């Protein structure tokens, strides 16, 4: 409760201090991020239009977030403003909000209550030009003659509704005319968890994404591994205490390929080490093939990290070899956590202390390295026990079992890592850092 009061006072201070603030500017705006028990969309393969550097603004903005299964950020939409909570998803383009009350929804946006809400008619050029990169093409809703949009996800869930313009209030700045999906129907594979958020904030490089419409040159986030806090920073992160970021270039392919997402944050994975041992795999195992299958995406909308079958099998076997006598394998061939994680262990309360001695798994990228160690290597399966032991699963999964033709770096392995997405220089930077301390330094009171 004390953190909430601090954040409220801090927000009031910003509002008073920046009365003349107009978007864009060089001011700093942070949003709190929250990690909540929510839906893991596994969202891939959305639009394919790159961000134009000519449309980039110079503002720096910051918000805090919270996290658990999904990363969520709170902001205001409409006139008068309505509070909404959105899932932060770097694997998606279209931002959307639930706009129709349903029995399982606790939070919706009510367009009828907003004076600034403007639905996009079918006849508008926006319906044709701005939606051309969406995986599912826009259509015309015959009932109201409005521009109809739909989004589907790899877990078979989907959401649809109408494209609209609205005012989005980010911290102390207002972005009028923001294009988003006002969704009124859909199918969810986990409706109970989906009900905990109002919508989704698409953050990839597509022209309709949140970061593209806002015109920021870069954005960063930092997810605490010690609690459910975090921070999202929109704009440049120039802080004396933030040093040592290692950068890896974004891979860009201009030709359309059936299994390649051209506006994802795609980097080149070059190898994986377990401890000091590099997996014996050819470089071709990490390269996309002629169809685009095999790209490596950094995705905040996915919880864990998924590797294509041959690479996952090599990692699994090496981790098993190096942890023999340290961890007890759960011998149940029929148990697969989240449909793709089949290496699980029986762990007693006393043996959790040995997590710090587990071999580090290092993902080797072009020019940079991301290491996963300690408790981030294993995840406790909620509510599952065998006698006095808890079941923990290896936090890398098999993409093949999910039907995903890609390597995906999920947000669980991004905890306590400053993640920077530089849209101007086309690169991703990261460095290990205590994210709870970073949030305090940024004045979030986290």
pLDDT of the residue at 56? 32
Mean pLDDT of 401-420: 93
Per residue in 398-409, pLDDT tens?
A: 999 988 899 999
The full length of the chain comes to 446
Residue-wise pLDDT tens digits, 361-372 = 999 999 999 999
- Of 40, 89, 194, 342, the active-site residue reads 89
Per-residue model confidence as pLDDT tens digits over 35-87 = 665 434 333 332 222 222 223 333 445 555 444 457 888 999 999 999 999 99
Computed from CA positions of residues 213, 214, 217, 220, in that sequence, does the dihedral angle turn out positive or negative? negative
Look up residue 278 and give its two tokens. Answer: 């590099």
Check if 289 is active-site.
Answer: no
Question: What residue spans define the domains of the chain?
Answer: 22-234, 246-441
pLDDT band at residue 194, thresholds of 50, 70 and 90?
Answer: low
Structure confidence at residue 352 (pLDDT): 77
Residues 330, 345 contacting (CB under 8 angstroms): yes
Cα 79 from Cα 111, distance rounded (Å): 9
Nearest to residue 411, comparing CAs of 53, 176, 7, 65?
65
Side-chain-side CA neighbours of 356 within 13 Å: the count stands at 2
**Position 396 pLDDT exceeds 90:** yes
* pLDDT classification of 114: cutoffs 50, 70, 90: very high
CATH number for the domain whose boundaries are 22-234: 2.40.70.10
| Active-site annotation holder among 299, 342, 422, 436 | 299
**Domain pair 22-234 / 246-441, same fold:** yes
Q: How far is CA 150 from CA 154, 211, 425, in A?
A: 14, 20, 31
What the block records as the tokens of 405 is 């033709």
> Is the pLDDT assigned to residue 154 strictly greater than 70?
no
pLDDT tens figures, 207-238: 899 999 988 899 999 998 877 688 999 988 88
Q: Tell me what pLDDT residue 391 has.
A: 94
Is the domain defined by 246-441 classed in CATH 2.40.170.20? no
Tell me the per-residue pLDDT of 312-335, one tens digit each, with 9 for 90 and over: 999 999 999 999 989 999 988 889
Instruction: Label residue 52 exposed, middle or buried (CB < 10 Å: 0-12, 13-18, 19+).
Output: exposed
- pLDDT band, very low/low/confident/very high, at 8 (cuts 50, 70, 90): very low
Indicate if the pLDDT at residue 299 is higher than 80: yes
Give pLDDT, residue 411. 93
pLDDT for 156 equals: 66
For 366-425, the DSSP string reads TTEEEEE-GGGGEEEEEEEEETTEEEEEESEEEHHHHT--EEEE-GGGGBTEEEEEETTT
Q: How many angstroms separate the Cα of 367 from the Cα of each of 107, 246, 274, 372?
A: 43, 7, 19, 17
The whole-angstrom separation of Cα 8 and Cα 418 is 25
| DSSP secondary structure of 187-221 | E-S-HHHHTTSSEEEE-SSSTTSHHHHHT-SEEEE
Average pLDDT of 258-277? 95
Tell me what the pLDDT averaged over the chain comes to: 83
DSSP at 128: H
184 catalytic residue (yes or no): no
Residue 188's pLDDT is what?
A: 60
Q: Which of 167-176, 183-192, 294-303 is most confident?
A: 294-303
pLDDT for residue 63: 56
Confidence grade of residue 444 (pLDDT, cut at 50, 70, 90): low
């Amino acid at each position: 409760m004390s953190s909430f009061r601090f954040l409220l006072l801090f927000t009031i201070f910003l509002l008073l201090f920046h009365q003349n603030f107009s978007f864009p500017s060089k001011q700093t705006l942070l949003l709190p991020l929250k990690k909540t028990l929510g839906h893991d969309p596994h969202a891939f393969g959305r639009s394919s239009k790159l961000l134009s550097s000519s449309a980039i603004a110079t503002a720096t903005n910051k918000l805090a977030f919270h996290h658990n299964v999904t990363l969520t950020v709170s902001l205001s939409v409409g006139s008068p403003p309505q509070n909404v909570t959105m899932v932060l998803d770097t694997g998606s383009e279209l931002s959307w909000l639930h706009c129709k009350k349903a029995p399982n929804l606790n939070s919706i946006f009510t367009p009828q209550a907003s004076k600034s809400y403007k639905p996009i008619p079918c006849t508008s050029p926006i319906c044709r030009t701005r939606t051309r990169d969406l995986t599912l093409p826009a259509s015309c809703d015959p009932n109201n003659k409005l521009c109809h949009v739909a989004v589907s996800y790899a877990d078979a869930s989907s959401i649809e509704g109408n494209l609209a313009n609205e005012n989005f209030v980010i911290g102390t700045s207002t972005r009028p005319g923001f294009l988003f999906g006002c969704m009124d129907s859909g199918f969810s594979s986990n409706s109970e968890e989906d009900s905990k958020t109002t919508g989704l904030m698409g953050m990839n490089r597509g022209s309709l994404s949140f970061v593209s419409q806002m015109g920021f040159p870069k954005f960063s986030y930092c997810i605490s591994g010690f609690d459910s806090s975090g921070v999202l920073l929109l704009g440049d992160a120039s802080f004396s205490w933030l040093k040592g970021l290692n950068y890896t270039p974004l891979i860009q392919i201009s030709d359309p390929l059936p299994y390649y997402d051209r506006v994802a944050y795609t980097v080149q994975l070059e190898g994986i080490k377990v401890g000091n041992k590099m997996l014996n795999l050819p470089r071709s195992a990490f390269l996309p093939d002629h169809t685009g299958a095999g790209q490596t995406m950094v995705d905040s909308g996915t919880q864990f990290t998924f590797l294509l079958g041959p690479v996952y099998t090599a990692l699994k076997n090496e981790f098993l070899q190096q942890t023999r006598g340290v961890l007890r394998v759960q011998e149940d061939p029929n148990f697969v956590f989240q449909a793709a994680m089949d290496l699980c262990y029986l762990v007693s309360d006393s043996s959790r202390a040995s997590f710090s001695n587990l071999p580090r798994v290092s993902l080797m990228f072009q020019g940079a390295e991301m290491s996963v160690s300690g408790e981030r290597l294993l995840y406790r399966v909620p509510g599952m026990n065998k006698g006095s032991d808890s079941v923990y699963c290896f936090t890398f999964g098999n993409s093949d079992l999910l039907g995903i033709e890609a390597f995906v770096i999920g947000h669980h392995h991004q905890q306590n890592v400053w993640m920077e997405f530089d849209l101007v220089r086309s690169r991703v930077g990261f460095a290990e850092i205590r994210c709870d301390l970073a949030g305090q330094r940024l004045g979030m009171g986290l």
